[in-house]
Chain A
């Protein structure tokens, strides 16, 4: 029994997702009419009615007490988790015991991440996000909600079955030679060819990578490209998996999976149309086009391109930030020059903004309200920088988000903006040709990536948090092929244990504990987190600050805990590059502790090597 919903402050549901069990329960409770055609809107109404008191109570608590609910749990172990992002309230419910409070919180943060990937800076404005998530047109809304629901389900499936989504790090296929060959191929042949072709419609390939199921075979970034963060790469893998689900995780027979793949190969009416994705950069969420080209079932080539006018995003963001700062300072009661402290001179900003607005006007993009702001802020009769300026300051924010949306939202770009289809086809066939002989090997390799030789060691996961990559033996309990652990109830049992070990370790890490060992039933579990410099010299531990219970979950996909942790540690080691590693192990409990710890130490040393494969 699961549910996730987004609502705004006026208790309007902006999006919801439920499983059938939850839907049935609601219908039973409200005796929703079963008439065809009327069923759907009626269900939405009952969801609205059911949650409205909770949503309204939330805003009352925030307004009157400055506090808010973060979770409820009931005697029959139903869990409700709530989180407010700006004007948007997220509620996640579980009533079947499959998810913990932490899982639900993570799901909420992932949902937030997905909306950021899809809508970029538009999410900064509550009013615009509402428009985006809840389009007036019912058909359009149904299409969008269907897409979001499917993404959420894809994420849940990956989180449940895929270790790289368990620890939120990208898994590499360990084959250094092939990896290097592929990177070279992507660089010298593919990207160069596309970027020098006239039919690329002003787009430029910045990143190209090959996925075997969810595992990364090769990744290439062009020299002009800014860094692609692991959190984004993980989110992109969700998008790819949503378009081309791997049969590896579908609990079906292989023939059926083959069949479904046939139908899934054309998921959109327009297969050569890219998806618009907004990726993190130092300045702001930058718009990109994403092309997913299925090489074979399970193997996908992904191209990320820079789109025309994307520099506008940077300037919009610059001013948006300025207005956010101004608003904050005005809210805090600063007035006059103090309100503008820490920003370039007012006059300079003013002229820059005016210049930009003129340029945008030339592109048929209007910014209303700017005159109003100018009059109030700068004219002699106006109030200057006082709290009276707040409404027009907020208005400017919305306007800027609107400009951003007009420039970059997928439907505003026009359907012609894409790499020419023949260019896409060419790219596809080039890589297909290159990997033809490797295809079967890769599919097998993706399931038996690494093997273990320590007696008594049941499982391990090794993560390099500095580059967001992990290594672990496979644990595919639903797959037909046998993984290192075999299959059946034991494998399933171990899988559950591994999942709970990671959750436990993260809970302790959140409270500042970087080493944890546990004796649980017949097994012994270890967790280690440590820092090294580039040469592999182990650095001294530091006290990791413990984060509040309502903070972001520990992970990379959401709010990137480890990036912050590394930044925190690096402050104390400014002269060297700091790397961060994690090791999770499961041993048989009968093995003496000394041996277990020796194993862990050897394992860490041994696994250090494969992570040195260059990514470029």
Chain B
């Protein structure tokens, strides 16, 4: 049995180790007692969402006043993100070094934490573009670009993002979130970090395309391949792929008029209903423009989830000799945390191959130090805003680590550099084989996670605008298809980008006499007039009540509405299966005693909410 430990936080390294050991031990003990994995662990000063799956354990901590349901959701999203970009968990832990894995987790966590307000954390929702000041035709145009791309049979679904926010998407929210990581990762970069050897780069810094391998769950893929709506227009989907594609216009701007030589049915709304998960950006009466929210701000309110991810894996794969190097690295962690409990068994299993587990131990301290640096860097950079900083930091760390590994191999194992190279080549080959979509899954993959299906994420960036498409793996080799999608969407993307860039941020309206948040559970979007930075006492009261009532809604299915009131504020919350809405009327409350009183203004909140929110497109009737 071996165990790897990663902790990303400001916690001193000895405390990290203590926490890892204690939490893992106590979780195992409890899960044995209850014959069920631990899901949530509360401490006096913090709480941890926990996932125990197969032989892995992840724990994500946050401050105590974040609802349980929110932190659990966040951890699940995080793990899903990891699998999306790295494939089966066990495989990744065998392939990548601790440092590399730590960097990846940091990146994904950073992405998920990039929400602009505390409310975004509570609902774990998508960040959408502020459409208040945007011509609705632009949104339509974005949707049309996506539809046009889908005419290539290899394209499954796509989304368009502008500066880290969704403009339009055809994917379910959970999938859109995942796709967005790649976008933010490459945002404001001239070139792109090679993630797993598959990425490629075409074009200038201002317009570039890239692809990367991703892994989808069968249910996700099923939804993309066989969407619930009848897509008559995509009947040619059944055609075998890789056919020389017909020359056709893949994209059109709104000014384009349908020409008879193109597949006109694809534009006919009756024949081609919109994809079921089209996200309409929220339209809050935001007092701050999108531009402002996105730009770095030193006075930014810190996110409440203090990015404390702990991640432990334990696996005893008898056939793990393939990746003995990475296993060796993992074994050092075992010696430290489990006092070498089951190492022998593992070494025995590996003894047939070139195991060099002991040699690596001496390097443990150096490696631990290396983990700390990027983690702290990440803390300071505070996500999205300083993305380029983070990425360059990550890159330089990666380089450092590479160098470090060579030294390790030389000194620790007595292994020559050449041997090491050969080995890493072997690993790369294995990885490539595994990633080759046409390949049958390797034998040990059948043990778990076999269900993940490899696909390719294609991304076309035009400055701040990104077209992201999930495509069949054949798309990479099919040059004509790539060219087509690229060239035909380029003009429309350029046009859309120019429009979005030139859209005036608009003058922020005066803060309304009320505060509200409207969460769409289906599209996973949030409309609110609470701004991330200027959190006044009323907003704080609103967020506090929203947390509690949202928590209550998530616990009690039959609960439809709630009014909660303390001396200074009253908040009304209401929900249906599709949405949750919260409303606070601002202003000094009339003197009241809190005793039952029909004249009490708190009880008129439902009526006020219905009236006020209509103009935000929220219908509570």
Flag whether A38 is at the interface (Cβ < 8 A): no
Q: Is the CB of A65 within 8 A of B565?
A: no
Flag whether B19 is at the interface (Cβ < 8 A): yes
Rounded to whole angstroms, the CA-CA distance of A543 and B591 in the bound complex is 13
Q: Is the CB of B593 within 8 A of A65?
A: no
Question: Chain B 31-46 against A: per-residue CB contact (8 Å), 1 yes, 0 no?
Answer: 1111111111111111
Q: From A95, which residue of chain B is reached at the shortest CB distance?
A: B34
Question: Chain A 505-530 against B: per-residue CB contact (8 Å), 1 yes, 0 no?
Answer: 00110011111111111000010111
B521-564 residues with Cβ-Cβ distance < 8 A to A are 544-545, 548, 552, 556, 558-564
Q: From B23, which residue of chain A is reached at the shortest CB distance?
A: A57
Q: Is the CB of A514 within 8 A of B598?
A: no
Select which of A50, A75, A548 is within 8 A of B37 by beta carbon. A75
With both chains docked as a complex, state the minimum distance between the C-beta of A3 and any C-beta of chain B, in angstroms: 9
Residues of A within 8 A of B565 (CB): 513-516
A65 touching B15 in the complex, CB below 8 Å, given contacts A70-B43, A518-B559:
yes
B3-23 residues with Cβ-Cβ distance < 8 A to A are 15, 18-19, 22
Residues of A within 8 A of B64 (CB): 548-549
Flag whether A188 is at the interface (Cβ < 8 A): no
Q: From A602, which residue of chain B is reached at the shortest CB distance?
A: B596
Flag whether B568 is at the interface (Cβ < 8 A): yes
Residues of B within 8 A of A95 (CB): 34
Select which of A68, A75, A93, A504 is within 8 A of B39 by beta carbon. A75
A529 touching B596 in the complex, CB below 8 Å, given contacts A74-B30, A513-B565, A519-B560:
no
A597 touching B598 in the complex, CB below 8 Å, given contacts A76-B36, A513-B564, A542-B567:
yes
With both chains docked as a complex, state the minimum distance between the C-beta of B41 and any C-beta of chain A, in angstroms: 5
Flag whether B603 is at the interface (Cβ < 8 A): yes
A74 touching B39 in the complex, CB below 8 Å, given contacts A530-B593, A539-B593:
yes
Residues of B within 8 A of A600 (CB): 596
Rounded to whole angstroms, the CA-CA distance of A109 and B24 in the bound complex is 28
In which size bucket is the chain A interface?
35 or more
Rounded to whole angstroms, the CA-CA distance of A163 and B41 in the bound complex is 32
Rounded to whole angstroms, the CA-CA distance of A76 and B42 in the bound complex is 17
Q: From B545, which residue of chain A is reached at the shortest CB distance?
A: A513
Q: Is the CB of A74 within 8 A of B38?
A: yes
Flag whether B26 is at the interface (Cβ < 8 A): yes
Rounded to whole angstroms, the CA-CA distance of A57 and B18 in the bound complex is 10
Residues of A within 8 A of B30 (CB): 54, 72, 74, 78, 80
A481-511 residues with Cβ-Cβ distance < 8 A to B are 504, 507-508, 511
The count of chain B contact residues (Cβ–Cβ below 8 Å) is: 55
Flag whether B29 is at the interface (Cβ < 8 A): yes
Q: Is the CB of B564 within 8 A of A69?
A: no
Flag whether B419 is at the interface (Cβ < 8 A): no
Flag whether B602 is at the interface (Cβ < 8 A): yes
Q: Which one of A74, A539, A601 has the greatest number of beta carbons of chain B within 10 Å?
A: A74
Q: Is the CB of A517 within 8 A of B38?
A: no
With both chains docked as a complex, state the minimum distance between the C-beta of A522 and any C-beta of chain B, in angstroms: 9
Flag whether A220 is at the interface (Cβ < 8 A): no
With both chains docked as a complex, state the minimum distance between the C-beta of A73 and any C-beta of chain B, in angstroms: 5
Flag whether B600 is at the interface (Cβ < 8 A): yes
Rounded to whole angstroms, the CA-CA distance of A492 and B556 in the bound complex is 18
Q: From A500, which residue of chain B is reached at the shortest CB distance?
A: B556
Rounded to whole angstroms, the CA-CA distance of A504 and B559 in the bound complex is 12
Residues of B within 8 A of A531 (CB): 593-594
Residues of B within 8 A of A539 (CB): 593
Flag whether A264 is at the interface (Cβ < 8 A): no
B555-590 residues with Cβ-Cβ distance < 8 A to A are 556, 558-568, 570
Flag whether A61 is at the interface (Cβ < 8 A): yes
Rounded to whole angstroms, the CA-CA distance of A517 and B598 in the bound complex is 13
Residues of B within 8 A of A540 (CB): 591-593
Flag whether A422 is at the interface (Cβ < 8 A): no
Residues of B within 8 A of A520 (CB): 556, 558-560
Q: From B15, which residue of chain A is reached at the shortest CB distance?
A: A65
Flag whether A575 is at the interface (Cβ < 8 A): no
Residues of A within 8 A of B22 (CB): 57, 60-61
With both chains docked as a complex, state the minimum distance between the C-beta of A590 and any C-beta of chain B, in angstroms: 13
Rounded to whole angstroms, the CA-CA distance of A504 and B562 in the bound complex is 11
Select which of A67, A515, A601 is within 8 A of B564 by beta carbon. A515
Q: From A583, which residue of chain B is reached at the shortest CB distance?
A: B596
Residues on B lying within 8 angstroms of A by beta carbon are 15, 18-19, 22, 25-27, 29-46, 64, 544-545, 548, 552, 556, 558-568, 570, 591-598, 600, 602-603, 606
CB pairs A–B below 8 angstroms (25 shown): A29-B33, A60-B22, A67-B43, A68-B43, A69-B41, A69-B43, A72-B26, A74-B31, A74-B36, A75-B38, A512-B566, A513-B545, A513-B564, A514-B565, A514-B594, A517-B603, A528-B594, A531-B594, A541-B567, A543-B566, A548-B44, A548-B64, A601-B595, A601-B597, A604-B595
